[in-house]
Structure 1
Amino acid sequence: MKQKQAIFQSHHLNKEANPHYNDYATAVQKVKNILQEQTGLHFKLYQSDMEMDQVFEAAEQMIMQNDSDIVHICSIYDNVSVATFRYTVVENYTVQPSIENNIFYFPKFDVALVKMPIYQSHEDFEENFLFASDDQSLLKFLNYLLEKQRQAMLKGISVFTDTDDGLIKTREKITQQIHREDVLLEENIKTDIFRSIDEFFLKSGAFFREYDIPYKRGILLYGSPGNGKTTLVKSIAGSVAAPTVYWQITENTSSYSIQEVFSTVTKMAPMVLVIEDIESMPDYARSAFLNALDGATSKEGIFLIGTTNYPEKIDPALINRAGRFDRAYEIKQPNDDLRKSYLHNKGLEKFLDMNQMELLVKKTKGLSISQLNEVYMSIALQWHYDQEIQIEKIVDDLLENQRKTKKQDWDLDEENIGRVGF
């Protein structure tokens, strides 16, 4: 046994077998020496393939927010950048230590993080290193960081987008709360959806336990664009005390990004996962997606909302099997009552009398909520400049513009064809 162990160690540590090991190990040892000098503790190095990126993402958010729980000890390499600057709407430009090439320490847990450049003759790369004084300290830190992430996610909507560079994660603040009464839907659909939401979140899943129902829920919202699917989602996000993740499916969605998304949201449960444009899931990733939906624990505590403008393009396997999506709701174009309610809420009575309002409701039949908003904008502009409102012309112009845009039937002067430019 000792001979086998010696061979194993020799194979991995011998400089001839691994000519660049010393370059790598020297940098790591230097970091451990600095940590010992600063804290008086010995540190062990830990690794996890799936978890490490999420740990460093959370730490970077804390650095950006100047969180007092994380301390900058020092930089590593002298001639490598150690700070980053970024523009924010609130503070304009700010300068902060970058997550790269710096040692960050959490004194409450005796845990340190380092995203360190590794320089070797054949390649340069960055690697994430997680140091802790012992296993228990590490576990306490990871649970703390998980709760920190959850609290941060409650302050807005986390947006995940699949790109050529991988899964990009951003956070958007809810700048304007959309109240439930402002959501324009048929009353029976609206009641059904919000009852499901309330039983899932506001009572901590007691309904599901009482009736022995699996603690997960999936609904699909479908319908033509501009009729309130996104508004409904924003209202849900702002009215529940749970994280909301908004996942944008693209042609870059892969089995890896699917695994990463479900790994993240499972740890954040109970929470809302919104999957936008679900019909856009690439064929090569559908099997991985269906497996994630069917996983024994992948949806536990998750309220899943899928949205699509093209329900006919959805893989039938998504909606024809129990446990994936429990209900599908059509978000229709607003009827007369909903259009009248919307136009009334926009305050059009200050421009129009009762007869004009009735005419406007009649003329806008077939328009979406977003198109009604454009009608309001046109009316306000015409009133502002001309002190008059031509309802029929405004609506007819909008309909004609919509027709041309949809069919790309543009009016072009034949003399100028081929000369369009800036």
Structure 2
Amino acid sequence: MAPQRDSDEPYIVITCEEAFAQEGRTASGDPLADPWAERASSTWVDPRAFGTRKLKELYPNHSVVAFANADVLSFPAAYVQPIHAPDMVSTVYFMPLARQMVAWDKYDFILYVVKFLYGTFDNTEMYLLHEGPEEPSRALVMASGVWQNDLHEEIYVFDSGYWDKNHKLWVEVQKADWNDVILKDEFKVNLKKDVFGFFDSENMYKKLAIPWKRGIIMYGPPGNGKTISMKAIMKGCDAKGFYPLYVKSFRSWKGEEGAMVDVFEKARQLAPCVLILEDLDSLINDNNRSFFLNQLDGIESNDGLLVIGTTNHLDHIDPALSNRPSRFDRKYMFDDPDDEERKLYVQYWQGKLKNNKDISFPDSLASEIVDSTARFSFAYLKEVFVSTLVLMAGFEEGDDKRDFADVIKGQIKALRKQLSVEPAGHTLNTTQRGVRGAVSPPDRSCQLDSRLANQGRIWEAGETFDRPRGSMPGGLPMPGGMSRGNPDRRIDLRAIAVAAANSGRSYMF
């Protein structure tokens, strides 16, 4: 830096421009790097256009196709190789090199990936160069974009204003089986007919000149099969080629109305599909109800759209939403199981345990269980069996093993006390209990984790089980304060089994 004095002026002009210009020079060896830094860092308003023009100058024999959204680097049908390796790897995370050789089909390409600040946002622009016409480049961008847009053992999940592909939820949904949904046959048949029959009835709707759309509400107290039924529906729709779209929340940086626009636009784009709105009474409130109704039956076509909502509290949903047939045509109540359904559920467990030589499960015991579990939900019926099996599995050699019947009756009694659920016609006499002596609290192994009382949603926020690409954070919180990846903590098998039982899952990891 050197001061410049003009003899005719009474002041000194001090400038660092020349020094900074020298320091800012790069010696990357890439012919685009220096011109890009010069133009994209100054007052030019469109660095993207400059990149295209400059690459045409640098590669006069190549066609140049600029694009931003297709992920060619992840396209499995393309072979990618760096043009030059860096002298030293100095980062602890992967940063793609700016220039790559790409081979696809019978063609070779050069791919530039340029990341830059434009306005207040980071931007990524890609340039695909091919020594020849543009058509092969455009075909590669199209092929990689189509592959990127497809689902690969994934389910679309909407949360925080964005759609993301989720593999973990897809894995959870694959475990669902209609054979594990213990409901009356007529109820299951009607539910499946309403869901899958909708997708087979497009021609009938058109002949009747009515919109090809349908809405279903599944309601009732928690723990009675809504979640497992929904998972079975999602699995069946996915297998038939009808995308299940799961909405976790309408919270968004765009606001709830902006989120609803994004949700329904995606559903219309992928129709025919099924849109899952779990805990409908929490998603729809006084502020967004009117806008939601406009999306549901507004001007834009919702042909091929099946909307399924679930709620534990139908009375909390505005009648304009729940009682108008053109919005939600059918409602299915998942109530606490009656005698027949409890009998079906107990027989289901009889079948699962019939090959276990250590367990005697006669029909007489099954009848006792059915009679003693009146007003139990399916979730608590499952807890009866899970807790019994966990306790029996915990017996060590040399212990006096208790009979299966005694253990399961003890669990029923403990759960009834804990849940304050008494058989019809029976009232707990606190005075009598005081005379007999204080009733000791149920054994720790019989207690439900209070944090899990309201669990059982299809998707719960928690820690991440990452997949290499397209994965979403999620999963039930680990019970008992455990943290994943910490081998020093003792695993609470009981808490894990209870969590699995109450969430309708067969495992927690």
Q: TM-score, normalised by structure 2?
A: 0.58
**Residues 296, 397 of structure 1: CA spacing in aligned structure 2 closer, same or farther, 3 A cutoff?**
same
Please tell me whether residue 33 in structure 1 is matched to residue 55 in structure 2: yes
- Which residue matches 2:321? 318
Q: CA deviation at 1:78?
A: 11
Runs of 4+ deviating beyond 6 Å: 72-75, 77-83, 100-106, 108-115, 130-140
- Which residue matches 1:255? 257
Please tell me whether residue 365 in structure 1 is matched to residue 350 in structure 2: no
8 Å CA contact retained: 1:73, 1:104: yes
Superimposed CA distance per residue, residues 47-78 of structure 1 (whole angstroms, 9 cap, x where no aligned partner): xxxxxxxx56xx39x82xx6224857779x99
Letter in 1 for 2:275: L
Identity over aligned residues, as a percent? 26
8 Å CA contact retained: 1:117, 1:127: yes
Task: Name the CA distance, whole Å, in 2 between partners of 1:113 and 1:200.
Answer: 46
222, 226, 231: which one aligns with 1:225 = 222
8 Å CA contact retained: 1:157, 1:237: no
SS in structure 1 at match of 2:374? coil
Please tell me whether residue 337 in structure 1 is matched to residue 340 in structure 2: yes
8 Å CA contact retained: 1:266, 1:302: yes
Task: Name the CA distance, whole Å, in 2 between partners of 1:111 and 1:286.
Answer: 51
**Residues 289, 71 of structure 1: CA spacing in aligned structure 2 closer, same or farther, 3 A cutoff?**
farther
Task: Name the CA distance, whole Å, in 1 between partners of 2:61 and 2:380.
Answer: 62
Letter in 2 for 1:317: A
Q: CA deviation at 1:191?
A: 1.8
User: Larger strand proportion, structure 1 or 2?
Assistant: 1
**Residues 78, 361 of structure 1: CA spacing in aligned structure 2 closer, same or farther, 3 A cutoff?**
farther
**Residues 333, 295 of structure 1: CA spacing in aligned structure 2 closer, same or farther, 3 A cutoff?**
same
**Aligned ranges 1:10-409 → 2 under 5 Å:** 20-22=42-44, 25=47, 29=51, 33=55, 37=59, 40-43=62-65, 55=69, 59=71, 63=74, 67-69=76-78, 71=80, 117-119=115-117, 125-129=121-125, 145-146=145-146, 149-152=149-152, 155-162=153-160, 169-171=165-167, 172-175=169-172, 176-201=174-199, 203=200, 205-240=202-237, 241=240, 242-249=242-249, 254-281=256-283, 282-346=285-349, 347-348=352-353, 350-384=359-393, 385=395, 386-388=401-403, 389-403=406-420
SS in structure 1 at match of 2:223? coil
SS in structure 2 at match of 1:304? strand
Structure 1 unaligned regions, length at least 5: 1-17, 47-54, 85-95, 405-410, 412-420
8 Å CA contact retained: 2:116, 2:123: yes
Larger radius of gyration: 2
Superimposed CA distance per residue, residues 126-185 of structure 1 (whole angstroms, 9 cap, x where no aligned partner): 125476897998699569745763443xx343322237xx56553322354433343223
SS in structure 2 at match of 1:352? coil
SS in structure 2 at match of 1:372? helix
Superimposed CA distance per residue, residues 15-52 of structure 1 (whole angstroms, 9 cap, x where no aligned partner): xxx99542861796179628984981133568xxxxxx
Task: Name the CA distance, whole Å, in 1 between partners of 2:233 and 2:340.
Answer: 23
Letter in 1 for 2:176: I
SS in structure 2 at match of 1:390? helix
Letter in 2 for 1:161: D
**Residues 267, 250 of structure 1: CA spacing in aligned structure 2 closer, same or farther, 3 A cutoff?**
closer
Task: Name the CA distance, whole Å, in 1 between partners of 2:206 and 2:385.
Answer: 47
8 Å CA contact retained: 1:36, 1:42: no
8 Å CA contact retained: 2:154, 2:165: no
8 Å CA contact retained: 2:250, 2:256: no
User: Larger helix proportion, structure 1 or 2?
Assistant: 1
SS in structure 1 at match of 2:288? helix
Letter in 1 for 2:184: E
Q: CA deviation at 1:290?
A: 1.7
Structure 2 unaligned regions, length at least 5: 1-39, 396-400, 422-440, 442-480, 483-509
Q: TM-score, normalised by structure 1?
A: 0.68
8 Å CA contact retained: 2:99, 2:110: no
Q: CA deviation at 1:106?
A: 9.3
Aligned-residue Cα RMSD (Å) equals 4.5
**Residues 393, 380 of structure 1: CA spacing in aligned structure 2 closer, same or farther, 3 A cutoff?**
same
